[in-house]
Amino acid sequence: MEFVHSTWSNNGGKEGMRLYMEIIVGKTAGFCYGVNRAVEGCKKVLEENKEKSICCLGEIVHNKTVVEDLKKDGIKFIDNISDVKDITIIRAHGVPKVVYEEAENNNVEIKDFTCPNVLKIHDIAKKYADDGYFIVLCGDKKHPENIGTLSYCGKNVYVVNNDKDVFKALEVIEKSGIKKVLLISQTTFSVEKYFIIREILGNELNRDIEFVSENTICNATELRQDETKKIASDVDFMIIIGGKNSSNTQKLFDIAKSNCKNTVCIENVDDLDISNIKSFNKIGIMAGASTPKKDIDEVINKIEK
């Protein structure tokens, strides 16, 4: 963990007294490898194709600051590949396989910045689906990453987001008559929830069913969630910085809140209410995988000032 110190006047104490406010910033806060690769890739595409129209299919990552900056640089964000004229960027979350087919049929040039960890899940899902497995996918079925992954899972798949969903999945598996089950996960899923789901499946599936578990939560997610828990357990006030529609940011908030009751989730420095912080001496800061460094720095500077 990185330690940053700041001072401010203690109005409740003796005149002239100053106390140190300690700010603890997570080492894992901010861009993960996949996000950095996608954002830097976009910049390179812009630099190398100044005369062409550059589009991105969906938000490159779930962060308002990043998307707005790329818009200013000239990238147009679209929802349908049929709207493309020249070059199309594939976002870090990935897309359904039909998008690649449409791009090829329409001679659309693709620049693919799908996170390698997501592509790995696609390969795993396809392999097991082809081998006749029923696939249980942990995550939010409406999340872009899972929408892409589902296209590789075949017809026998069920998305679970909590332990209640697992029992519904068990009913579907039993009705299917399939004797082989694979458990995989969204890269940013809660590590704690994943192992709870795995334990339930392992205990409840019939003994004649082959059960395979592939933990596809990325290492960066695990490290970030673990560090968030440690920091939140050691501070008086916790700040999570990240996009409102960011799955991994929401997971960090949930973890922090369960370990520090004084926890807030903000998108950027504009959302930070300093009046909520002044009565605390030890502040923790963690940021989602799509949060740029400048958003983190601006929050730190606002607190210090």
- For 102-126, the pLDDT digits (tens) are 998 888 999 999 999 999 999 999 9
pLDDT, tens only, 205-216: 999 999 999 999
Question: 18-25 and 2-9: which strand pairing?
Answer: antiparallel
Q: For the segment 214-267, what is each residue's pLDDT rounded down to a tens digit?
A: 999 999 999 999 999 999 999 999 999 999 889 999 999 999 999 999 999 999
The residue annotated as part of the active site, out of 145, 192, 204, 227, is 145
Contacts of 256 (CB under 8 A, 6+ apart): 228, 229, 231, 232, 238, 240, 263, 284, 286
Round to whole Å and give the CA distance between 42 and 37.
Answer: 9
Residue 5: is its pLDDT beyond 50? no
Mean pLDDT, all residues of the chain = 92
68 is catalytic: no
Q: Summarize pLDDT for 174-211 with one digit per residue, the tens.
A: 999 999 999 999 999 999 999 999 999 999 999 999 99
- pTM for this model (two decimals): 0.89
Identify the pLDDT of residue 51: 87
State yes or no: pLDDT of 50 exceeds 60.
yes
